[in-house]
Amino acid sequence: MSNETQTPRVPLLSEVPDAAGRFGEFGGAYVPETLVAALEQLIEVYDRVRGEERFWEELRALLTTYVGRPTPLYFAQRLTRHARKGIDRSKGAEIWLKREDLAHTGAHKINNTIGQGLLTKRMGKRRIIAETGAGQHGVASATAAAFLGLECDVYMGSEDVRRQSLNVTRMKMLGANVIEVNSGSRTLKDATNEAMRDWMGSVEHTHYIIGSVVGPHPFPMIVRDFQSIIGRECKGQAIRQFGKLPDAIVACVGGGSNAAGIFYDFVDDKGVKLVGVEAGGRSSDPGQHAAPLSLGSPGILHGSLSYVLQDSNGQTSDVHSCSAGLDYPGVGPEHSFWKDAGRVEYTSATDEEALDAFLLTARSEGIIPALETSHAISHAIKLSQTLPSEERIVVNLSGRGDKDVEEATRLLAKRQG
């Protein structure tokens, strides 16, 4: 049979983005002229590095010796028992946790900052900047900067500075400069605007380490690639520990990097159910949640086309979540692609549900999860109750909750008061 008469091969879902940074219709690079050259330089460097075994070996060695990978895949027996209480015996799938909270600095963010830190060195730049919400990306950036000998400025909304004071202190201790942002809602979106503004005037010597799978091409691809270590490890661990792939994987979605990191290696395995959990906040009323995939519409935010929470004039809406890391009106373009392709199901958990899951995990497993992660745990318990007891759900435990104990205490006191 000649080539021409063969049916064209249907591309795999993992074979994105294209050269223009498109995930289906989503993604791209909607940026001012001043950033085009910087993005092109980054595309060129990353294209070269992608095929370089030496780069990935250096990264692999650091992820092992410095970050502490691989992180365990752990059976949460008591959470599972809790999910099985009072339901039909045949239901109640096992809940397993992929322990990214045990990675150095306490969350998955370090997988990306070490990778992009090495890229910064390759480009011969001496300074990094970052935006941060919960402060975890700021801490991970400050850590990579200290370790690699780079200058580091972190932009953070003043509302988040208040909610996450422990992480602010950690960043300063690590030698980074924390720049408080007082514009807009004083959270992650505003910090991202300021970081982009800085980068426009500093690209020559500065690299902007975006903390999630958002922003203009090539960032969503680069961050996904660095985070995909989570899913690759998880697949190997599942095969060794279960003898097969997981039946479902659940992850919380802010910008979407921990979810993309654990989903990516499974998107072409159609038998594995993938669920992303957004911040349902106080209600589904405008301004009371941060769930763009569940309640938003396609639009442009921070340089790429994706689902966004916006009003009828295309103005970005205010958002709310009890967790600073999910408090963002946009989401990575690859998630929009997966949503419209019907590959990943997106749902949400409310502040109250997340707080319940936070306490439950602390008291039943002895693991204090991040409030972000608690959204995923909350949904995993519900999902377990609908699936056969012999099936297995993996929750990406994206980070530890030490940073959240003060905020959780405040919310619990309010609930009682």
Ligand X SMILES: *Cc1c(COP(=O)(O)O)cnc(C)c1O
Closest approach, Cβ 228 to ligand X, in A, equals 13
Scan residues 29-68 and list those touching ligand X (CB under 6 A). none
Does position 258 interact with ligand X (CB under 6 A)? The reply is: yes
Say whether 398 is catalytic: yes
Measured from the CB atom, the residue of 67 and 203 that comes closer to ligand X is: 67
> Rounded distance, CA 216 to CA 28, Å?
6
Closest approach, Cβ 230 to ligand X, in A, equals 10
Does position 257 interact with ligand X (CB under 6 A)? The reply is: yes
Scan residues 382-411 and list those touching ligand X (CB under 6 A). 398-399
Measured from the CB atom, the residue of 215 and 399 that comes closer to ligand X is: 399
Question: Which residue type does 197 have?
Answer: R
Does position 71 interact with ligand X (CB under 6 A)? The reply is: no
Closest approach, Cβ 8 to ligand X, in A, equals 34
Grouping H, G, I as helix, E, B as strand and the rest as coil, residue 408 is helix
Choose, from 257, 348, 384, 398, the residue flagged as catalytic.
Answer: 398
> Rounded distance, CA 398 to CA 396, Å?
5
Strand duo 297-301 + 304-308: pairing: antiparallel
Residues in the chain: 417
Does position 361 interact with ligand X (CB under 6 A)? The reply is: no
Q: Which of 165, 141, 140 is nearest to 153 (CA)?
A: 141
Scan residues 89-148 and list those touching ligand X (CB under 6 A). 107, 109, 134, 136-137
Q: Which residues of 192-231 are buried (b: 16+ CB within 10 A; e: fewer)?
A: bbbbbebbeebbeebbbbbbbbbbbbbbbbbbbbbbbbbb
Binding-residue pattern over the window 270 to 309 for ligand X, x denoting contact by CB under 6 A: ----------------------------------------
> Rounded distance, CA 93 to CA 81, Å?
10
In this chain, which residue has its C-beta nearest to ligand X?
399
Task: For 345, list phi and psi in degrees, rounded to 5.
Answer: -95, 135
Q: Which of 131, 125, 93 is nearest to 109 (CA)?
A: 131
Rounded to the nearest 10°, the torsion over CA 339, 215, 350, 76 is 80
Measured from the CB atom, the residue of 109 and 163 that comes closer to ligand X is: 109
**Which run of H or of E encompasses 181?**
strand 177-181
- Write out the two tokens for 385: 């109750």
Closest approach, Cβ 330 to ligand X, in A, equals 11
Measured from the CB atom, the residue of 136 and 347 that comes closer to ligand X is: 136
Which residue from 73, 290, 291, 370 is in contact with ligand X, where contact means CB under 6 A?
370
Which residue from 253, 262, 272, 279 is in contact with ligand X, where contact means CB under 6 A?
253
Closest approach, Cβ 152 to ligand X, in A, equals 17
Q: Which of 125, 123, 105, 108 is nearest to 55 (CA)?
A: 123
Closest approach, Cβ 214 to ligand X, in A, equals 8
Scan residues 195-234 and list those touching ligand X (CB under 6 A). 212
Which residues are annotated as catalytic? 109, 131, 398
Binding site for ligand X (CB under 6 A): 107, 109, 134, 136-137, 212, 252-259, 325-326, 370, 372-373, 398-399
